[in-house]
Amino acid sequence: MKIARFIRVAVPLSLALCCTGTLPAEAQELPAPRGGVECRGWEREYEDAAMPAVGQTWTLDFGSDTPIGPGPFVATIHFTDESRATIKVTQGPAGTQGLTQDITYTSTRLRPCQYAVTWHEPKTGLFVTQVEDFAQHRAYDTIVDPAKGTMIHMTATFFRGQ
């Protein structure tokens, strides 16, 4: 009986000692904001789903050779109010450059400084869901084209325009 008690205490204790020998990790400081309003200040101001970018223009740089086509793809989005915005393609594959669309969007606050934004583009017929991360300056898009039966995913650098 005494040996069984010893084993019940000694085995977990020895496992705890051998497995916790790693050095503690230090928390890393958050990167400095790269443009626009500092996000941490929004946590107190924006407790609901209202977009913090209302009245502002933000640029989305999707890089080169996206699923949409070859070459750079850059667009701006101006948030007119809490439900309306204007999207303009400033650089893009053939047929998309200069395309401007007024959209009606809905937004859902996912966490401080991160919003899911959805809309339908009337001219192209596309349905878009975009997660806008104002802290990391990234946008993650899922675009559905019902006419072609396709869905694509893209990631952009997201920064406030001048």
2 within a domain of the structure (yes/no) = no
pLDDT top residue among 49 and 104: 104
Domain assignment present for residue 127? The answer is yes
Is residue 36 in a domain? no
- Please identify which residue in the block is written with the tokens 């606050």: 109
Backbone angles phi, psi at 152, to 5 degrees: -125, 155
Structure tokens given for 128: 């878009």
Q: pLDDT at residue 38 above 60?
A: no
CATH number of residue 100's parent domain: 2.40.128.20
Q: What is the pTM of this model?
A: 0.70
- Compute, in degrees rounded to 10, the torsion defined by CA atoms 113, 102, 34, 65: 110
In a domain, 50, yes or no: yes
What is the average pLDDT across 86-98? 91
Contact 100, 92 (CB under 8 A): no
Flag whether 37 is in a domain. Answer: no
Q: Which residues contact 54 (CB under 8 A, 6 or more apart)?
A: 79, 80, 81, 82
Q: Which of 15-24, 56-65, 109-118 has the lowest mean pLDDT?
A: 15-24
Q: Is residue 135 part of a domain?
A: yes
- For the chain, what is the domain count? 1
Q: Is residue 73 part of a domain?
A: yes
- Confidence label for 69 from pLDDT (cuts 50, 70 and 90): confident
Beta carbons of 18 and 10 less than 8 angstroms apart: no
Domain span at residue 119 reads: 46-160
Max alpha carbon distance in the chain (Å)?
83
3-state secondary structure at position 50: coil
What the block records as the tokens of 161 is 């325009």
64-81: burial string, b at 16+ Cβ within 10 Å, e else:
eebebeeeebbbbbbbee
Residue 119 lies inside a defined structural domain of this protein: yes
32 to each of 35, 42, 102, 136, 137, how far by Cα in Å?
9, 15, 32, 9, 11
Question: Is pLDDT above 90 for 56?
Answer: yes
